[in-house]
Amino acid sequence: MPLKNKKIIVVNDKMQKNYCYELSEPVGKNFAEDFRPELKPKEILEMGVFCGKYMRDCTKEFPNSWFLKAKFARGNEPDCGLNFFGVKASMPLSYWRKKGWIHPDDPRGWLQWYCRYYAGRRHEDDARQIRRWKMMKRHVTQVWKNCSKGDLSCRKKQRQALLHWAYDSRKM
**Cβ 30 vs Cβ 65: under 8 Å:** no
Note the pLDDT of residue 54: 87
Alpha-carbon gap, residue 54 to 140, rounded angstroms: 23
pLDDT, tens digit, for every residue of 116-172? 999 999 999 999 999 999 999 999 999 999 999 999 999 999 999 999 999 999 988
pLDDT, tens digit, for every residue of 80-123? 999 999 999 988 889 989 999 999 999 999 999 999 999 999 99
**Cβ 57 vs Cβ 16: under 8 Å:** no
**Cβ 133 vs Cβ 63: under 8 Å:** no
Q: Partners of 20 in the beta sheet?
A: 10
- Model-wide pTM > 0.85: yes
Burial of 163 from C-beta contacts in 10 A (0-12 / 13-18 / 19+):
buried
